[in-house]
């Protein structure tokens, strides 16, 4: 389905969903440490989500087996948590989470480095991928074309000479986890569908230190870079407004 203009009550529910999500992602970022397993992160997310009254949007989605995606180093997205996967010093760790609350879904992700970064290049990759997300959000307003958002993201990543993952894109979100239209992280201004005030989308740039090509692991979910280069991923669910956007998955103090 193409993402619909949301009603006031639906937007209120998405705001609440987004705040639950933002609270949990922040907690996970604080908990994440060298020596813990990716399953420990997922278990923590599940406990906190239950305590806050939300439901997992990922668990069971096309058979996905957990509430959280945890992707490390050359894993771009959709890494399945495991009690055997231990986070090591210098790992680039992406955590991706979705929340269902009062029938409405939000989706968000962040990337951090466990312990001490292995290089300044890794640190810059994470910083610039976040910067590209902010550029995409900054391009939003009522009536904007998807290509304008895509081009804003791409410019930041091209300037940094990163690989811009093409096989995975942002998307509409709200009533379903993934709705049309796709929101690519590369493109041309003035192209693609028009986004209207009241629509909600998930913008999620994925960048690599090498080539943009990726493949899916034998588990059917984990997406890795073909050349083994390290990757970063950020995502926010946003509401399009007349003159900009409201970030629904940004934590409010």
Do 229 and 74 touch, CB atoms closer than 8 A?
A: yes
pLDDT over 90 percentage in the chain: 97
CA atoms within 13 A on the CB side of 248: 30
User: What pLDDT score does 43 carry?
Assistant: 98
User: Token pair for residue 90?
Assistant: 């210098």
User: What pLDDT score does 252 carry?
Assistant: 85
- In this prediction the pTM is 0.96
How confident is the model over 52-64, as pLDDT tens digits? 999 999 999 999 9
Residues 8-247, CATH architecture: Alpha-Beta Complex (3.90)
User: What pLDDT score does 57 carry?
Assistant: 98
Q: Specify the residue for token string 């999620």.
A: 204
For residue 217, give Cα distances in angstroms to 60, 75, 81, 155, 224: 19, 9, 14, 29, 7
User: Token pair for residue 166?
Assistant: 């093409």
d(CA 216, CA 221): 6
Q: Residue ranges of the domains in the chain? A: 8-247
Residue ranges in the chain whose pLDDT is less than 50: none
Q: Specify the residue for token string 């993402």.
A: 3
Instruction: Return the H-helix or E-strand segment holding 106.
Output: strand 104-113
Do 71 and 227 touch, CB atoms closer than 8 A?
A: no
User: What pLDDT score does 7 carry?
Assistant: 97
**Angle between helical axes of 146-159 and 120-138 (0-180°, round to 10):** 160
How confident is the model over 11-31, as pLDDT tens digits? 999 999 999 999 999 999 999
Do 87 and 37 touch, CB atoms closer than 8 A?
A: yes
Q: Specify the residue for token string 């090509």.
A: 213
Q: Which residues contact 159 (CB under 8 A, 6 or more apart)?
A: none
User: What pLDDT score does 168 carry?
Assistant: 97
User: What pLDDT score does 1 carry?
Assistant: 82
Classify burial at 250, counting beta carbons within 10 Å of its beta carbon; exposed 0-12, middle 13-18, buried 19 or more.
middle
């Amino acid at each position: 389905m193409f993402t619909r203009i949301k009603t006031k009550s639906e937007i209120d529910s998405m705001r609440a969903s987004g705040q639950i999500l933002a609270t949990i992602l922040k907690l996970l970022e604080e908990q994440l440490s060298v020596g813990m397993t990716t399953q420990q992160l997922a278990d923590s997310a599940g406990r906190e989500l239950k305590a806050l009254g939300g439901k997992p949007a990922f668990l069971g989605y096309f058979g996905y087996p957990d509430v959280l995606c945890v992707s490390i180093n050359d894993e771009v997205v959709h890494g399945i948590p495991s009690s055997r996967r231990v986070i090591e010093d210098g790992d680039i760790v992406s955590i991706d989470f979705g929340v269902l609350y009062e029938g409405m879904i939000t989706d968000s992700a962040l990337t951090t480095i466990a312990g001490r970064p292995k290089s300044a290049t890794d640190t810059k990759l994470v910083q610039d991928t976040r910067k590209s997300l902010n550029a995409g959000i900054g391009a939003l307003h009522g009536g904007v074309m998807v290509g304008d958002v895509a081009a804003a993201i791409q410019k930041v990543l091209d300037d940094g000479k990163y690989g811009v993952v093409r096989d995975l894109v942002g998307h509409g979100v709200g009533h379903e986890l993934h709705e049309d239209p796709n929101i690519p992280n590369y493109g041309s201004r003035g192209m693609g569908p028009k986004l209207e005030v009241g629509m909600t989308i998930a913008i999620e740039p994925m960048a690599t230190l090498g080539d943009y090509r990726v493949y899916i692991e034998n588990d059917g979910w984990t997406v890795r870079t073909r050349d083994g280069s390290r990757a970063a991923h950020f995502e926010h669910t946003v509401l399009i407004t007349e003159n900009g956007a409201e970030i629904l998955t940004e934590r409010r103090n």
